[in-house]
């Protein structure tokens, strides 16, 4: 049996084009050729964004109606494959921008916002598929607050009810994410909702979207894009079953895969074995002092990335065991089995008492980087970020920068700027950012170059580089993740070259390999590039980063064929990953990304660590440049990091 536009297997074969400006919805048959070439999820969304950007040209303002945002899934979603519950959300990011020229970056060129992909689990992605749709492609801006309803194959734009709003500080704003979700869940039983929170409504550059109370399309500012479109929420519901190309074979192969995942998670020699108990927080112990199959530690960021190690007595208050102590039952994504990284959490008493979910490693690490050493406060702030719709990671970098700027006297004109180590200050600051309720919140809710420009305008010209120096998200950065950037040159390359922005850790991850001895510019470059292709495939299939198996292996591809009818070899699947990564990079080139962006090293990261196992380490700028040379050569890009026409054509991409 051959696939065609009429014969879809695995996928739903339909997407909805939603024009908020004209209040029109078209549910259309999807393009099977696009699915074959771009796999699904993130990959198909890249192609759909390119269709848009190619026609309209570079998008200079990601918060204009011209931005397109797409939410959807891949073929394995909602099938028996463990972790097949992740959805994709793609858009041009309002955070990763540097549109005005700046004096503190040599070779700076305007950057209008990177094409960004965010991934989230929970139930919403699979429920959207059950509603009979692979993707919602959302354009324009509604003239009043609206929400989208996708039920049993029908999609509607409806006015957002007054009950979804409240007055805060004399201003109408959306209610918290859980209030919106609860209201819509009561109205539509057996549904799932993704929504913005107050931060997205107020167009904070790093506002997220929250699904099912605590699952976030976290990075890049999807919440702000919703806010700019007057779009409050999407609710999905349905029972449309999956159609399999060969269901009997699929079930047989899926059982074999299931057993394989189970045995790998059960094997104490695999890091996956820690996840069911500790979630991602095992990285805290490993990064601070070793353990959990690690080496010496010394790379847990401290004091706005100045150090990678700090007092063990302080660490004990916020380490892996501290978060195990407040953990409860598993609370995992739809279709997750065995790996099961998420648990509920509860603080029994005190000012931060409450129930919610255990924060992730990256969140905790980046708030430790603000010198917050109170696990109850971290639990509470994580809860607040889920309610207010703020990306926890970028918040950590933004607040750490504010703390340093305060110490240097650049925030003197603002009331109560946050101090390192003060949870009360950080909570007040995060609320003021989300609600845009005071001048400091309004300042910090911007993309970072705007923050630097505003502070610079009130200072002497000579102070501007010093202001920029405190802000590690400068020059369109997304914010570094929870592994100290000074320690691992391969990880720094992953941070520097990720398509979704400087600081992202999910597109390539090198720590185990570098701790295991991987060195040399060429080897590091190839490892990073390989990881980026692999992650593009994981996202496009709707699987989790923590899926334990190789999705380009023959057994997996046989399973994929039984599901979709599409045949791939390991090489042709990797080629598809390469196509996705190169198309994203090409779009980012069009948005202004070149070598200057990748090569930028925040100056404070060249100052050596003074403590811990990696004392003396800093980013070696010359070595990083040599890795970048090797990386571009490996990718087939020119020395400026531009994807050329020949490569695009060889991958079937029209320039
Ligand atoms: S491992 Fe964690 S993030 Fe991944 S699917 Fe399972 S619960 Fe969700």
Identify the pLDDT of residue 88: 98
Centre of ligand 1 to C-alpha 420, Å, is 32
Average pLDDT, integer, range 63-77: 98
Q: Model confidence over 114-141: pLDDT tens digits?
A: 999 999 999 999 999 999 999 999 999 9
Identify the pLDDT of residue 2: 35
Closest-CA residue to 473 (of 219, 143, 117): 219
Find out whether 136 and 16 touch, Cβ atoms under 8 Å.
yes
Identify the pLDDT of residue 56: 83
Distance CA 141, CA 571 (A): 41
Say if ligand 1 is within 6 A of residue 16 CB: no
Say if ligand 1 is within 6 A of residue 218 CB: no
Find out whether 357 and 280 touch, Cβ atoms under 8 Å.
no
Distance CA 456, CA 468 (A): 9
Distance CA 450, CA 446 (A): 6
Counting from 1 in the atom list of ligand 1, the atom nearest the Cα of 122 is 8
Distance CA 473, CA 123 (A): 32
Ligand 1 atom 8: the closest Cα is on which residue?
333
Q: Best substitution site from 546, 548, 549 to test ligand 1's pocket, by max atoms within 8 Å of Cβ?
A: 546
Find out whether 388 and 199 touch, Cβ atoms under 8 Å.
yes
Identify the pLDDT of residue 7: 72
Say if ligand 1 is within 6 A of residue 538 CB: no
Identify the pLDDT of residue 1: 34
Counting from 1 in the atom list of ligand 1, the atom nearest the Cα of 341 is 2
Which H or E element spans position 324?
Answer: helix 320-325
Q: Residues 357, 359, 363, CA angle at the centre, nearest 5°?
A: 155
Counting from 1 in the atom list of ligand 1, the atom nearest the Cα of 339 is 1
Contacts of 182 (CB under 8 A, 6+ apart): none
Find out whether 134 and 624 touch, Cβ atoms under 8 Å.
no
Of the two residues 2 and 601, the one the predictor is more confident about is: 601
Counting from 1 in the atom list of ligand 1, the atom nearest the Cα of 333 is 8
Identify the pLDDT of residue 5: 44
Say if ligand 1 is within 6 A of residue 32 CB: no
Say if ligand 1 is within 6 A of residue 121 CB: yes
Q: Best substitution site from 87, 121, 547 to test ligand 1's pocket, by max atoms within 8 Å of Cβ?
A: 121
Identify the pLDDT of residue 107: 85
Average pLDDT, integer, range 595-615: 97
Global pTM value: 0.97
Q: Model confidence over 491-529: pLDDT tens digits?
A: 999 999 999 999 999 999 999 999 999 999 999 999 999
Counting from 1 in the atom list of ligand 1, the atom nearest the Cα of 335 is 5
Distance CA 429, CA 199 (A): 12
Find out whether 296 and 599 touch, Cβ atoms under 8 Å.
no
Say if ligand 1 is within 6 A of residue 340 CB: yes
Q: Model confidence over 584-599: pLDDT tens digits?
A: 999 999 999 999 999 9
Residue 519, Cβ density class (10 Å: 0-12 exposed, 13-18 middle, ≥19 buried): exposed
Question: Above 50 in pLDDT, residue 55?
Answer: yes
E strands, 245-334, in order: 327-330
- Please tell me the total number of residues recorded for the chain in this structure: 655
% of the chain with per-residue pLDDT over 90: 97
Here the contacts of 49-57 (C-beta below 8 Å, separation 24 or greater) are 49/90, 49/91, 49/92, 49/115, 49/587, 50/583, 50/586, 50/587, 50/653, 52/139, 53/92, 53/115, 53/587, 53/590, 54/654, 57/590
Closest-CA residue to 234 (of 135, 163, 94): 135
pLDDT band per the 50, 70, 90 thresholds, residue 57: confident
Computed over every residue of the chain, the mean pLDDT equals: 97
Residue 356 per-residue DSSP state: E
Q: What is the CA radius of gyration of the chain?
A: 23
Q: Best substitution site from 41, 78, 85 to test ligand 1's pocket, by max atoms within 8 Å of Cβ?
A: 85
Structure tokens at 268: 């104490």
What proportions of the chain, in percent to the nearest 5, are helix, strand and coil? Answer: 40, 15, 45
Structure tokens at 153: 């194959």
Counting from 1 in the atom list of ligand 1, the atom nearest the Cα of 82 is 5
Question: Above 50 in pLDDT, residue 642?
Answer: yes
Centre of ligand 1 to C-alpha 44, Å, is 22
Closest-CA residue to 369 (of 393, 352, 405): 393
Counting from 1 in the atom list of ligand 1, the atom nearest the Cα of 331 is 7
Contacts of 311 (CB under 8 A, 6+ apart): none
**Dihedral (Cα; 254, 258, 261, 265), 10-degree rounding:** 170
Say if ligand 1 is within 6 A of residue 339 CB: yes
Question: Above 70 in pLDDT, residue 4?
Answer: no
Q: Model confidence over 305-327: pLDDT tens digits?
A: 999 999 999 999 999 999 999 99
Residue 603 per-residue DSSP state: G
Find out whether 12 and 131 touch, Cβ atoms under 8 Å.
no
Q: What is the DSSP string of 627-653?
A: HHHHHHHHHT--TTSPPPHHHHHHTT-
Q: Best substitution site from 80, 282, 336 to test ligand 1's pocket, by max atoms within 8 Å of Cβ?
A: 336
Find out whether 137 and 15 touch, Cβ atoms under 8 Å.
yes
Identify the pLDDT of residue 6: 54
Centre of ligand 1 to C-alpha 280, Å, is 10
Find out whether 194 and 71 touch, Cβ atoms under 8 Å.
yes
Ligand 1 atom 7: the closest Cα is on which residue?
332
Structure tokens at 361: 């490693």
Q: Model confidence over 8-42: pLDDT tens digits?
A: 899 999 999 999 999 999 999 999 999 999 999 99
Residue 160 per-residue DSSP state: P
Average pLDDT, integer, range 578-583: 98
Q: What is the DSSP string of 273-287?
A: GGHHHHGGGHHHHHH
Ligand 1 atom 5: the closest Cα is on which residue?
83
């Amino acid at each position: 049996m051959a696939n065609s536009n009429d014969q879809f297997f695995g996928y739903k074969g339909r997407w909805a084009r939603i024009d908020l400006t004209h209040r029109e919805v078209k549910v259309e048959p999807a393009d099977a050729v696009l699915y074959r070439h771009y796999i699904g999820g993130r990959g198909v969304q890249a192609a759909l964004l390119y269709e848009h950007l190619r026609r309209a040209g570079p998008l200079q303002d990601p918060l204009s109606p011209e931005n397109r945002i797409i939410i959807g899934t891949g073929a394995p979603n909602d099938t028996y494959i463990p972790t097949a519950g992740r959805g994709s959300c793609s858009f041009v990011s309002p955070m990763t921008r540097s549109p005005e020229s700046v004096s503190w970056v040599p070779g700076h060129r305007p950057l209008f916002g990177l094409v960004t992909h965010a991934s989230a689990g929970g139930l919403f992605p699979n429920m959207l598929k059950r509603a009979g749709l692979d993707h919602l492609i959302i354009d324009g801006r509604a003239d009043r607050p609206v929400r989208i309803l996708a039920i049993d194959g029908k999609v509607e734009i409806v006015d957002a009810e007054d009950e979804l709003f409240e007055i805060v500080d004399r201003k109408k704003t959306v209610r918290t994410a859980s209030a919106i979700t609860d209201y819509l869940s009561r109205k539509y039983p057996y549904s799932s909702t993704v929504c913005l929170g107050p931060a997205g409504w107020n167009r904070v550059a790093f506002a997220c979207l929250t699904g099912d109370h605590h699952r976030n399309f976290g990075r890049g500012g999807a919440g702000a894009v919703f806010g700019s479109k007057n779009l409050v929420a999407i609710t999905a519901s349905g029972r449309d079953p999956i159609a399999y190309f060969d269901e009997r074979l699929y079930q047989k192969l899926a059982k074999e895969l299931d057993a394989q995942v189970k045995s790998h998670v059960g094997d104490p020699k695999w890091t996956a074995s820690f996840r069911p108990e500790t979630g991602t927080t095992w990285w805290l112990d490993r990064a601070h002092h070793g353990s959990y199959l690690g080496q010496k530690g010394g790379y847990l960021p401290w004091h706005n990335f100045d150090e990678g190690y700090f007092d063990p007595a302080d660490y004990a208050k916020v380490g892996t065991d501290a978060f195990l102590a407040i953990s409860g039952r598993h609370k995992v994504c739809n279709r997750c089995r065995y790996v099961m990284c998420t648990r509920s959490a509860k603080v029994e008493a005190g000012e931060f008492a409450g129930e919610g979910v255990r924060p992730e490693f990256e969140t905790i690490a980046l708030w430790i980087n603000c010198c917050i050493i109170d696990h109850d406060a971290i639990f509470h702030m994580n809860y607040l970020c889920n309610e207010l719709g703020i990306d926890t990671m970028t918040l950590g970098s933004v607040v750490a920068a504010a703390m340093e700027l305060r110490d240097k006297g650049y925030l003197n004109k603002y009331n109560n700027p946050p101090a390192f180590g003060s949870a009360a200050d950080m909570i007040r600051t995060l609320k003021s950012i989300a609600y845009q309720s005071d001048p400091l919140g309004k300042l910090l809710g911007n993309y970072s170059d705007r923050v630097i420009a505003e502070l610079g305008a009130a200072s002497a010209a000579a102070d501007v580089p010093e202001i920029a120096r405190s802000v590690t998200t400068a020059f369109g950065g997304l914010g570094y993740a929870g592994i100290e950037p000074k320690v691992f040159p391969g990880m720094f390359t992953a941070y520097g070259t990720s398509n979704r922005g400087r600081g992202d850790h999910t597109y390539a991850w090198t720590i185990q390999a570098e701790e295991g001895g991987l060195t040399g510019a060429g080897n590091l470059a190839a490892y990073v590039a390989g990881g980026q292709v692999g992650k593009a495939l994981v996202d496009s299939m709707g699987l989790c980063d923590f899926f334990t198996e190789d999705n380009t292996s023959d057994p997996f591809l046989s399973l994929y064929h039984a599901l979709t009818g599409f045949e791939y070899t390991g090489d042709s699947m990797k080629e598809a990953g390469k196509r996705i990564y190169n198309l994203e990079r090409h779009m980012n080139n069009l948005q202004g990304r070149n070598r200057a962006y990748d090569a930028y090293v925040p100056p404070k990261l060249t100052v050596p660590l003074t403590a811990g196992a990696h004392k003396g380490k800093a980013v070696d700028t010359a070595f990083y440049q040599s890795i970048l040379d090797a990386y571009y050569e490996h990718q087939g890009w020119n020395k400026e990091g531009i994807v050329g026409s020949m490569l695009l054509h060889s991958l079937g991409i029209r320039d």
